[in-house]
């Protein structure tokens, strides 16, 4: 049955450090991956995406790495700031089915 | 401003009393969907709609209905709510982000539903 009160995995970092948030996905047919940031009381916000024909993509202060061999995705945040504190979700999509599946999330806490 | 708007933000109701959560988007997106978010779990898709009058079940459709009579609106209907439907609900629409060739999901701010 469902568990009540499950706690999210939490990553605690110091302001200015780099953060790495990891995600394992399950569907070998997934060919599009997205990271979302969800701040308290808000809906998820798109951060960065990557297609399966790439293994790395960089944005502003963020980098997503994709390892299809082990079905692993990571989000790297450079020079983490207090405003980065949030829950981060990875999502995988099989674009043929247009179905998007979310991971369970990781809470990032940035200590000033 | 491009956005997804859902109402109400908070709702407390009792078992069996029909309710509707509204969702509207102003981006002319064809694809819209509903998710529920429970503690310690990612978002799970309830229903989605590829276009007007086209709806399909997601991963957890039991106890929910949707309708898509017009492109901008996608209401979520609970005909007979039960306590296990207490959750945080998000509506989303998907379309091309401005200036890109990539589709992105745009989420509403969420509706916290409590069924007593």
Structure tokens at A76: 């790297």
Structure tokens at A95: 């674009």
CB contacts of A2 in chain B (<8 Å) are 38
Q: Could you tell me the pLDDT band of residue A108, with boundaries at 50, 70 and 90?
A: very high
* pLDDT at residue B98 is higher than 70: no
Which three-class secondary structure state does DSSP give residue A82? helix
Which three-class secondary structure state does DSSP give residue A40? coil
| B75/A5 Cα distance (integer angstroms) | 28
* pLDDT at residue A6 is higher than 80: no
Q: Do A43 and B39 touch (CB under 8 A)?
A: no
The pLDDT assigned to A5 comes to 36
B105 in contact with A at a CB cutoff of 8 Å? Answer: yes
Structure tokens at B21: 């959560």
* pLDDT at residue A4 is higher than 50: no
Torsion angle of alpha carbons A46, B44, B25, B6, nearest 10°?
A: -110
B8-to-A15, B14, B33, B64, B89 alpha-carbon distances in Å: 36, 16, 17, 17, 10
* pLDDT at residue A2 is higher than 50: no
Neighbouring CB atoms inside 10 A of A92's CB total 23
CB contacts of B108 in chain A (<8 Å) are 43
Q: Which residue of A has its CA nearest to B37?
A: A104
Q: Do A98 and B50 touch (CB under 8 A)?
A: yes
* pLDDT at residue A72 is higher than 60: yes
* pLDDT at residue A89 is higher than 70: yes
Using only C-alpha atoms, chain A has a radius of gyration, in whole angstroms, of 14
The pLDDT assigned to B103 comes to 75
B18 class by beta-carbon count within 10 Å (0-12 exposed, 13-18 middle, 19+ buried) = exposed
CB contacts of B97 in chain A (<8 Å) are 46
Q: Which of B40, B92, B102 sits opposite A8 (nearest CB)?
A: B40
ω into A76 cis (within 30 of 0): no
Q: Could you tell me the pLDDT band of residue A86, with boundaries at 50, 70 and 90?
A: very high
- B64 φ/ψ angles, rounded to the nearest 5 degrees: -125, 155
Q: Render pLDDT for B10-69 as a digit per residue (tens, 0 to 9).
A: 999 999 999 999 999 999 999 999 999 998 778 999 999 999 999 999 989 999 999 999
Q: Render pLDDT for A14-47 as a digit per residue (tens, 0 to 9).
A: 999 999 999 999 888 888 999 999 998 889 999 9
Q: Which of B39, B45, B104 sits opposite A6 (nearest CB)?
A: B39
Q: Do A102 and B39 touch (CB under 8 A)?
A: no
SS (HEC) of B68-110: CCCCCECCEEECCCCHHHCEEEEEEEEEECCCCCCEEEEECCC
CB contacts of B21 in chain A (<8 Å) are none
């Amino acid at each position: 049955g469902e568990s009540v009160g499950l706690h999210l995995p939490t990553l605690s970092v110091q302001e200015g450090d780099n953060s790495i948030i990891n995600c394992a996905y399950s569907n070998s047919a997934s060919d599009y991956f997205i990271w979302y940031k969800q701040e308290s009381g808000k809906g998820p916000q798109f951060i960065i995406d990557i297609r399966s024909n790439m293994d790395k993509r960089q944005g502003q202060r963020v980098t997503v790495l994709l390892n299809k061999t082990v079905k692993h995705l990571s989000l790297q945040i450079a020079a983490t700031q207090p405003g980065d504190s949030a829950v981060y979700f990875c999502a995988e999509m099989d674009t043929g089915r247009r179905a998007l599946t979310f991971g369970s999330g990781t809470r990032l806490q940035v200590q000033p | 401003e491009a956005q997804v708007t859902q109402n109400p933000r908070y709702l407390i109701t009792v078992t069996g009393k029909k309710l509707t959560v509204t969702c509207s988007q102003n981006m002319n997106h064809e694809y819209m969907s509903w998710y529920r978010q429970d503690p310690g779990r990612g978002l799970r898709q309830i229903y989605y709609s590829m276009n007007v009058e086209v709806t399909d079940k997601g991963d957890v459709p039991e106890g929910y209905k949707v309708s898509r009579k017009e492109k901008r609106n996608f209401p979520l209907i609970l005909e007979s709510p039960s306590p296990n439907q207490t959750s945080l609900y998000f509506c989303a629409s998907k379309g091309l982000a401005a200036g890109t060739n990539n589709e992105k999901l745009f989420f509403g701010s969420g509706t916290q539903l409590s069924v007593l």
